[in-house]
Chain A
Amino acid sequence: MTAPGLVLSGSARVDGAPLFGPVDFAAPAGRWTCLLGPSGVGKSTVLRLFAGLAGPVTLDGHAGASDGAPLAGRVALMAQQDLLLPWLDVLGNVLLGARLRGRRGDRAAARDILERVGLSAHAHKRPAALSGGQRQRAALARTLLEDRPVVLLDEPFSALDARTRAQMQDLSAALLARRTVLHVTHDPAEAARLGHHICLMAGDGIRPVPLSAEPPPRAFDAAATLSLQGALHRRLMQAA
């Protein structure tokens, strides 16, 4: 499995009203790229364009893989809502992708991933019986099990407490190594920990932030991580 990079150029609009752009953005192959920006600038739309779920959005330009082949079938998406199916238990939800493709699904792998996100004891509960953080971890487990070269994450850790968030970030960084990850977030601390590359999205476009720090995942309490977090926060304040 060779992960392609992602490229996006052009501008997007909804019903004729401009949404963002023009932008020129690239997420390098096999790397973790964080797309950081305030709410409402169109970060989620960027993800949806790569996922092939443009909906009412029209893109004047191009969004796709750097190798030129279609992205369909090579992408896993974790949306902002957990999108767990209420009539399936957690195990059934984690195995949903295989079931939708008409395969049996690897139950051992699913149980292993549930163990790693700390939901083993909840495998046979329905989503309604879980807390918000547990639901988000179930959605993360479903995304990680999809085993796709390109992984699109939309605020995947937003509902987690600080401790669980750090654990899930480390787990995701380990399991998604060498895949192309595009991670949308509004949290500078998260971007500072996880990004090989960090791009700042504002109303006037998407700009890369120069990084000199060590490769991710960076320790959440290291001086370099905290200083990067501060610098990103500063840029966010100035961009707004």
Chain B
Amino acid sequence: MRRLGTIAGPVLLALALWQAVVVLTGVPSFLLPAPARVAVTLWTSRALLAEHALTTAAEVLIGLFLGAALGFCAAVLMAASPPARAVLRPMLVFSQAVPVFALAPLLTLWLGYGLWSKVAMALLIIFFPVTSAFFDALMRTPPGWTGLAQVMGASPARLMWHVRIPAALPGFASGLRLAAVYAPIGAIIGEWVGASNGLGYLMLLANGRAKIDLMFAALIVLAVFALLLHAAVDAACNRALRGRT
């Protein structure tokens, strides 16, 4: 509850400033609608917003799950095998050097206008932070633990499974927390490039019809969803790592 209080203060202040700007400058509502007007739209268009939010949420959650799973496997593979490291590492860096925006039209071309091109975008955008954070942690197993395991007669596979992976889970959690923030960005980019559903699609549509209040409403729904997703992932990570220190 105290956390809610610390969030509510700045949010109310921002809303007051926003309202003040609208009132004082008299800016037309097709450029900047007042917060009260956006709130009304939020309520009257709730069914429409919920429908599109559901689509975006599905894209983000599936992308997050697949990207995290793929990043987990890639990091373990790279940590376990130097040849795999030699092949995958440059590819990983290259995947970051190419802007994801530039890939979006291609993904839409290949995977269609539906769910999977957005899932692929979210996956692409989070694969690097997850893999990179987890791989770094896997390569920094405390040498005391690996030495102990070696004296105890552990095979490399059992050392990986029983010591290196559990020891590196805090690194995986850091990657996952970042991924929770990035994944909605990926999905929205995908929806902008080509979609028939989703909050990103709704924003473009509203913009094109000068329904700026609806665009703001969609934006707020997206922001709240992203914050909730981050909070949920953060709480899950903390819970999973509880009792370690």
Contacts and interface: CB of A to CB of B under 8 A. Distances in A.
Interface of A: 48, 51-53, 55, 72-73, 75-77, 79, 81, 83, 85-87, 96-97, 99-102, 126, 128-129, 146
A175 to B, nearest CB: 18
B10 interface: no
A100 B152 contact: yes
Contact of A77 (B148, B167, B169, B244): B148
Most buried by B among A52, A55, A83: A83
Contacts of A102: 155, 158
Given A73-B153, A100-B154, A100-B158, A83 B148 contact: yes
A101 B152 contact: yes
Contact of B149 (A81, A100, A126, A128): A100
Contacts of A126: 243-244
Interface of B: 143-145, 147-155, 158-159, 162-163, 166-167, 169, 243-245
A87 B166 contact: yes
Nearest to A79: B144
A52 B151 contact: yes
Contacts of A85: 145, 163, 166-167
Contacts of B144: 79, 81, 83
Contacts of A75: 151
A52 B153 contact: no
Contact of A55 (B143, B152, B155): B143
Most buried by A among B144, B151, B153: B151
A29 to B, nearest CB: 20
A97 B144 CA distance: 14
26 contacts: A51-B151, A53-B150, A55-B143, A73-B153, A76-B152, A77-B147, A77-B148, A77-B151, A79-B144, A79-B147, A79-B148, A81-B144, A83-B148, A86-B243, A86-B245, A97-B152, A97-B153, A99-B158, A99-B162, A100-B153, A100-B159, A100-B163, A101-B158, A128-B243, A128-B244, A129-B243
A126 B169 CA distance: 17
A101 B155 CA distance: 7
State the 9 A-B residue pairs at the shortest beta-carbon distance, nearest first.
Answer: A100-B154, A97-B152, A86-B244, A53-B147, A77-B151, A126-B243, A83-B144, A100-B152, A87-B166
Given A79-B144, A79-B148, A85-B166, A101 B153 contact: yes
Interface of A is mostly: loop
A149 to B, nearest CB: 13
Contacts of A146: 152
A159 B144 CA distance: 18
Contact of B154 (A48, A77, A81, A101): A101
B151 A83 contact: no
Contacts of A51: 147, 151
Contacts of B159: 100
A79 B145 CA distance: 10
Given A77-B148, A85-B166, 9 more contacts: A52-B151, A53-B151, A55-B143, A83-B144, A86-B243, A96-B152, A99-B162, A126-B243, A128-B243
Contacts of B147: 48, 51, 53, 55, 77, 79
Contacts of B166: 85, 87
A101 B154 CA distance: 5
A30 to B, nearest CB: 20
A174 B151 CA distance: 23
Nearest to A127: B244
Contacts of A87: 166, 169, 244
Nearest to A146: B152
